[in-house]
Amino acid sequence: MEKLQKTLQEWQDMLDPAQYQVCRLKGTERPFSGKYNATTADGVYHCICCNEPLFDSKTKFDAGCGWPSFYEPIADSAMIEIRDVSHGMIRTEVTCAKCDAHLGHVFPDGPPPTGLRYCINSVCLDFVPR
């Protein structure tokens, strides 16, 4: 996959302040505040920064954590996992493989068949109905 690269200024010009804070500066949105937390429609979730498909709605589930949760990405190559030791925790950050946007984190407490919970910020996503 060819990387999409822009300067921080280009990202700032393209994204709204909340998207920029989360996607480029590794922030997070408040739990239960994101527009896709309770969405159950059929479709595909894309990266807000580069439009790369990230998750199919068929893998979305209600984890009760306040962020959209998925048990697997649309393809293994869609994201990159990075060890995150910030905030006194050890977690696994997930970023978009095409543009390096921070998406959220993956945890080993999800449902079958993967046992994973991709906890993703709504502001990082664009939903395209089927």
Query: Which residues sit in the known binding site for Zn(2+)?
Result: 47, 50, 96, 99
**Whether residue 119 lies in the annotated active site:** yes
Ordered DSSP codes for 21-69: HHHTT---PPTT-STTTT---SEEEEETTT--EEEEGGGEE--SSSS-E
Q: Catalytic one among 23, 49, 65, 119?
A: 119
* Cβ–Cβ < 8 Å for 78, 89: no
List the catalytic residues: 119
